[in-house]
Each structure stands twice: as structure tokens, then as C-alpha cells.
Amino acid sequence: MNSNVQSLKAFLGGAGRLALVEVAGTKGSTPREKGAFMLVSPTAAHGTIGGGQLEYMAIDKARQMLGSLRSAPFSEYADVGAAPHPPAGTFSPYSDGEKGSGRNAGDPLSPSLRGEGKGEGRRDADEAVVTLDVPLGPEIGQCCGGRVKVLIRLVDGTIEEKLIANAESEEAHLPHVYLFGGGHVGQALAASLALLPIHGVVIETRAEALEGMPETVETRLTPIPEAEVRNAPAGTAFAILTHDHALDFLIVAEALKRGDAAYVGMIGSKTKKATFRTWFLKSADGAEAEFARLVSPIGGDAVKDKRPPVIAALAAAEIMTALVSHATAGHRALQGKVTAG
């Protein structure tokens, strides 16, 4: 299974000189949140801070830094507060409030990327740092209306290690989506899930149905797929769309009995859902409260289009919404416990 960590390592290992571009602060409406980052080499980039003119400016500045490594001292970029004002209407690579103060942007990287002992207003003597404080208005051709502070620094071994450690930690805590069934809709949904920040797992009883799955999606071949439900992590989303309705019912029943599931969805029609309800309540010892958590058909019925890619797109959005909602509810519950304690 190929992963974002592997992709990051490959870029770090093959790009040569690199600059790290990170959103260090935001105000108002902005395209990305604080902590979003990208890596820039002289010829390529990995990740995004939101695209548009903001990103173009950051890439351009990063490549200026990379191109000047052999001809200019690092201090040229480290104390951007001492730079003169540009002409009116042009982009300023520093905050007006910091002009002439000699105050460096410091180290507003996410906490896990900060060096030990560093704080805002300090920098290493051999470290190249520049801050862009960008109003997202007509001056740069964007109309978000907010403001973004971007920190750009040259990547060294320490930063590489921390980027990889962060990515590994993030990947280890990604929400899980278990997709049962690798048919036409399953293949399309797997392709959609492969683009999302989740750990996707496709489970099948047929080996041939797992062929051609995206590299970033895990595949499991098993004769007892419902057993995978019992072993899934808390907060998993379950999407059930196998080739066998009876098998669908067994898997859905197991998933609904997991009170910690973020989502349980089954492909099908209103008739299939009604048939499942009867079986679930009479033969599977199910309860109405459990059945009420079932989403079927997956993707909803507002869009009357049964083509697999369309169903997959709608289902992926539905699943992602459920995962975010579940995580938010869990965070609020944790905050409530801390407050009560």
C-alpha cells in the first residue's frame, strides 16, 4: 500500500535543495488553515497552501531563496523586517507592523516543527527565513478577504526528520473507512476514497475484485468479511456494497451493533432497506435505534443518477461528512469531561 508518508519521503529524497512553505497564521477567510504546508524545489512542489496568487508568490519567493544559496548570505532573508517598503500597490514580503523593528518572524511553525529552545523573535545564525504577510484582496487577484502569514525556510536534516515524523503520526491517526465490495461502485468509491485523508480498506471475498485498486487503498481478501467489522478501530466508517444481498445484511448487522461506528451505509433501494429492517429486527436481534443509524441508499437519493462514478462521488462526500461530524462530537465530549473534571 502506497502512502502519503512514502510520497513525502520520495519527494524529500529526490528533489535536492528544498524550501518549506507553511501557513503560520490566518485572519478571516483563507484558503487553508494554520499549519498547512508545501515543499518547493527549483523545479517542483509537493503539497499546497491553497493555490492561487498566494501560492504562486510563496513558490516564487522560495525559489528565489533556493537560487540565491550560493550567491547571497542567509541573513539577506532572515531579517525581513529591515527591508524598505516596496512601491504602493506592490506585494510586501513582511508585515507593516514589523517594519523596521528588526523583529524576525521567529518560528511560527506548528509546534512539532519548532526546534528546541526556539521561540518567536529568535533564529539560528545559519538559518534562512522569510515571512510573507499577505492580504487576500484585489491587490493580488484574490477575494477571500482574509490575511495569511506564510513562513518560508530552507529545509535541513532536522526539518526533514520532523516532517516525516509528523506525517507518520498523522497517517497513524487517520480515520478508517472499510469498503465491503469491489464491484463497479466499489471500484469507483475506492478511487474516490484514495484522494481523501483517510485510511481506506477494501474487503472482498473474491480475489479478482481486488485487482486494479488504487495503491493508497489497503486490500483484504477474506472468506468471512463480517469478522473484519468486529476488529475495526473505533470511529470507522463502513460502506457495504457487495455482490450478495445476504452478505450485505450480515455485514451491516455487525456494523450497526458497533455503537462507535462513524457511519454505516448500504447500497440499495428502499425495498432492500425495508427487507433488511424486517430481517434485522426479527432474525438478527437488532433494535430500532440501531437500525435508525443505517444510511441507505448510500449517497442519498437526491441525485437520480445510478452511474457508479456518480454514486461514488456522492457516497464519498457523505462518508467524509460523517467522519468529520463524528470526530467533532468526540472532541466536544472530551472537552466536556475535562471541564467537568
> Which stretch of 56-60, 200-204, 253-257 has the lowest confidence by average pLDDT?
56-60
> Which stretch of 50-54, 69-73, 246-250 has the lowest confidence by average pLDDT?
69-73
- CATH for the 174-333 domain, from 3.40.50.720, 3.20.20.140, 3.30.1330.40, 3.30.460.10: 3.40.50.720
Positions of E strands within 261-314 = 263-266, 294-295
Question: In DSSP terms, which residues pair with 220 in a beta bridge?
Answer: 203
Positions of E strands within the chain = 19-27, 37-40, 45-47, 129-135, 147-154, 176-180, 199-204, 218-221, 237-240, 263-266, 294-295
Tens digits of per-residue pLDDT, 86-131?
333 333 333 333 333 333 333 334 433 433 333 333 333 345 689 9
Q: What confidence tier does 60 reach under pLDDT thresholds 50, 70, 90? A: very high
The amino acid present at 144, given as its one-letter code, is C
Among candidate residues 143, 135, 189, 136, the one with its CA nearest the CA of residue 319: 189
| pLDDT, average across residues 12-37 | 92
Question: CB-based contacts of 3: which residues, under 8 Å, 6+ apart?
Answer: 171, 216
Domain boundaries, the chain: 16-169, 174-333
